[in-house]
Structure 1
Amino acid sequence: MGLWHVFYADWQMECCGTPFSVGDEVSWPLLLLDADEMFGGGWHDQLTKVSGPVEDVGGVRLVREETGLTVALGADPDDDEDRRPLPGDWTRSVGMLSVERHGARWPQVAGRVRAVQVLTQAYAESAPGSRSWEPVAGRRRLRTVERCPKWFTDADAERADGQRRRWRKSGVVVTLEVPGTDSWLSYAVREARGMPQQDPEPGAETKDLPAAALTALLESLSTVTPPPTPTARRRHGRTEGHRR
């Protein structure tokens, strides 16, 4: 079973979502978004890679991910040209999985909720006295909870670095376990537990792991702290960087 980070936006939940708890079985339509367009970018742990053939279903570009996940590909609404891959293409895309309950319809993904983190995003006033706010890239917090709230709130404005800022609870980051799939996150969990990566038994990464231990492990793999700057090294005549 693959573990996937999925973002559930506050307005999607408040409009027509149903709150859920850790351990619940859910079914959601998933959309892969450009991570740089989500709250100014700066994401790392929560990024998802999908690869597979592209098909068109009622005008929606779907990827039947090679490990079993079905995901719709988002388009940039400000782009004059549709840059999504064409039906019949094979694509490899990296972005943020999100729940999308508005507009077109496509097959939903069913799975079990393994962790829930409330996302609190920083916003800065776009201009002094403008009363309009823009997300601050990379300035966010995650707090582990047992249940997704129905309603989300703003904090009072404060002044920081010469700007007025405010924090807003902007949704939740969910760890969703989906049968018949595999993922970067599942790989990271197996690595953290010292488990073999070759031909893993489905669901082995979470099997027999107490709930509290699983929560702590998943929390450590879904942070907002920037990763360390790669240290350059030279190998075989070219410069490479260390990666986690």
Structure 2
Amino acid sequence: MTVWNVMYEDWQLECCGDPFAVGDEVTWRLMVDTTAPEREWRAELTEIEGPVESAGGGPVVCSGGVTVPWTGSGAWPPRLHLRGLLRVEHHGGEWPRTTGVVRGIQVVGQGFLEENLVPGKRTLRPVDRCPKRFEHVGRAAAGAKLRREETGVLVALEVEV
């Protein structure tokens, strides 16, 4: 068994997902977001390395019980090393899904100044059940421009290797 950190963004869950609880078995399409900022996500970033195979009509990498698409261009390399944040993806295409058991859920809160994300202002709040809706109207102190919004959940997903 391997436990992976998986980000499930608020809009993905609200659009096309179903709430889940700790202990539930879930099946999701996952992808690696290689653009996740190192400063904000250092502890949650993951590395996936393995052979590139054809599945679902495109190249994928299978490693540690998860399958993710390779979105590069050109000829497929024989092996690939990806570093980034695992994310649930409902809209990106067709590739094999990953099944696992939810071992932990944390609601991700983020600070914003006007429309810009503020580095270093992320919070994680443990919950037993994932909400279907998130707090999108930021709450700011009177006269303050900094507001907080819930941007999704960080899930500890245990998968069989």
Fold match by TM threshold 0.5: yes
Pairwise CA distance, 1:71: 1.3
Could you say what secondary structure the match of 1:123 adopts?
A: strand
Q: CA deviation at 1:135?
A: 1.1
- Aligned pairs for 1:1-244 within 5 A: 1-36=1-36, 42-57=40-55, 60-65=58-63, 67-73=64-70, 75=71, 83=72, 86-125=75-114, 133-153=115-135, 154-158=137-141, 164-180=145-161
5+ long unaligned stretches in structure 1? 76-82, 126-132, 181-244
Q: How many residues align?
A: 160
Structure 2 Cα separation of the partners of residues 58 and 159 of structure 1: 51
Provide the C-alpha distance between the structure 1 equivalents of 2:78 and 2:142, rounded to a whole number of angstroms: 49
Which structure would you say has the larger RCO, counting Cα contacts within 8 Å and 6 or more residues apart?
2
Shift of 1:41: 5.0
Return the index of the structure with the highest Cα Rg.
1
**SS in structure 2 opposite 1:152?**
coil
Aligned residue for 1:106, secondary structure, equals coil
SS at match of 2:15: helix
Question: How many Å separate the matches in 1 of 2:92 and 2:66?
Answer: 21
Runs of 4+ in 1 over 6 A off after TM superposition: none
Which digits, 9 at most, give the CA deviation of each residue in 1:70-105, with x for residues without a partner?
A: 1124x5xxxxxxx55742431111100000011311
C-alpha contact 1:56 1:87 (8 A) present in aligned 2: no
How far, CA to CA, are the matches of 2:92 and 2:132 in structure 1?
21
**How far apart are the structure 1 equivalents of 2:79 and 2:142?**
48
- Superposition RMSD in Å: 2.3
What residue identity is the alignment partner of 1:51? Answer: E
Q: Secondary structure at the match of 1:138?
A: coil
CA distance in 2, matches of 1:145, 1:68: 25
Contact 1:27 1:111 (C-alpha < 8 Å) held by counterparts: yes
Matched AA of 1:173: L
Quote how far apart the aligned CAs of 1:138 are: 2.8
More strand by proportion, 1 or 2? Answer: 2
- Give the structure-1-normalised TM-score: 0.60
**Identity score, percent:** 42
